[in-house]
Amino acid sequence: MTLPRTTPLRIVLADDHPIFRIGLRAVLEQIPEVTVVGEAGSPLELMTQLQATDCDVLITDFMMPFKHQNDGLKLLEQIRRHHPGLPILVVTMLNNAGLFRAMLAIGVAGVLSKASLANELPQAIGHLRRGNTYLSDSVQRQLLQDGEVRPDQALAQEPLSPRELEVMRLLAAGHTVGQIAALLNRSKQTVSSQKVSAMRKLGVPNDAALYIRLQELGMS
């Protein structure tokens, strides 16, 4: 999806630290043809803001604890489900290749380290305008180390569908394919096909490797 170039790029910011949002807004205000149209300090505020505000890009922290909910992946899945066409740029202090892979699998448009925000945010906005994915240098290093992702694959993650993610979460919780089929009211063949498809996208060859990968992704 190529973003508009002739009109200001409308951005919603989300982070539970007001001081960080002030700094992020200050960086964005230095980028030509960019305007901040909304801010949120919690997942609930963010979902409300997105319902009420037309925007072109969401820039959000990965972890915004709220009551008993602190699962960043679930928040991203919820945003993707309700706003499937909205590009999401995640900014985070985390440095975990498994989580980065999971974000990419959900379909985020970019992952940016808070430590390099001032230098890399303008580049990230430029990539998103052209409809490209952006990964900060530190994120790419984590993905490439130990051969986790080949250089030609780092920006070519195929996202899991919402149903595949649902199956993966239930597998990680210890359910069998048959139990998942009953829980989701799907046939065993359908659940098995979704499992095989997700394994292909995650690049794992067997069940043992799948469960290790799900642990890396924080799903178990």
pLDDT of residue 1: 54
8 A C-beta contact, residue 9 and residue 19: no
The mean predicted confidence, pLDDT, of the chain is 82
* pLDDT at position 51: 94
pLDDT score at 220: 57
Residues 166/80, Cβ–Cβ less than 8 Å: no
The domain spanning residue 53 has which CATH number? 3.40.50.2300
| Tokens encoding 9 | 């790029």
CA 164 to chain CA centroid, nearest Å: 15
Q: Both tokens of residue 194?
A: 């979704």
Distance CA 58, CA 1 (A): 14
How many other C-beta atoms are found inside a 10 Å radius of the C-beta of residue 147?
A: 6
pLDDT surpassing 60 at residue 69: no
Residue 188 and residue 138 share a domain = no
The four Cα atoms 64, 162, 215, 152 give a dihedral, to 10 degrees, of: -100
> Are β-strands 9-14 and 57-61 bridged in parallel, bridged antiparallel, or unpaired?
parallel
Q: Which of 120, 147, 174 is the last residue of a domain?
A: 147
Establish if 94 belongs to a structural domain. yes
Least confident of 132-136, 141-145, 169-173, 180-184: 141-145
pLDDT band at residue 3 using 50, 70 and 90 as cut-offs: low
149 vs 157: CA distance, rounded Å: 10
State what percent of residues in the chain have pLDDT above 70.
Answer: 85
Q: Is 101 a member of any domain? A: yes
Last residue of a domain, one of 118, 147, 176: 147
Residue 137 domain-assigned?
yes
User: Is the predicted pLDDT of residue 4 greater than 80, yes or no?
Assistant: no
109/16 same-domain check: yes
The answer to whether 176 and 167 have CB atoms below 8 angstroms apart is no
Same domain, 92 and 166: no
Do the domain assignments include residue 1?
no
157 is a domain residue: no
In this structure, are residues 28 and 9 in contact, taking their beta carbons and an 8 Å threshold? no
The winner for highest mean pLDDT among 83-87, 112-116, 157-161 is 83-87
Total structural domains in the chain?
Answer: 2
Cβ neighbourhood burial of 3 (10 Å; 0-12, 13-18, 19+): middle
Q: How many CB atoms lie within 10 A of CB 180?
A: 23
Q: What is the DSSP letter of 204?
A: -
Average pLDDT over residues 108-131: 87
Q: Is the same domain home to 82 and 44?
A: yes
In our burial notation (b when 16+ CB lie closer than 10 A, e otherwise), range 43-53 reads: bebbbebbeee
- Biggest CA-to-CA distance, the chain: 54
Going by the DSSP 8-state scheme, the letter that residue 114 receives in this structure is G
Would you say residue 47 has pLDDT above 90?
Answer: yes
pLDDT-derived band at 155, boundaries 50, 70, 90:
very low
Average pLDDT over residues 189-198: 91
User: What local confidence, expressed as pLDDT, does residue 152 receive?
Assistant: 41
Residue-wise pLDDT tens digits, 102-114: 888 888 999 998 8
| CA atoms of 176 and 188, how far apart (whole Å) | 10
Above 70 in pLDDT, residue 67?
A: no
pLDDT class for 12, splitting at 50, 70, 90? very high
User: Do 141 and 207 share a structural domain?
Assistant: no
pLDDT for the residue 37: 95
Which of the listed residues 147, 173, 198 is the one where a domain comes to its end?
147
State the pLDDT at residue 156.
42
Residues 110 and 206 in one domain: no
Question: Based on the domain organization, do 45 and 20 belong to the same domain?
Answer: yes
Question: Which domain covers residue 120, as residue numbers?
Answer: 9-147
Q: Same domain, yes or no, for 78 and 167?
A: no
Strand order in the sheet with 34-40: 34-40, 9-14, 57-61, 88-92, 110-113, 134-135
**Domain for residue 154, yes or no?**
no
Q: pTM of the predicted model, to two decimals?
A: 0.66
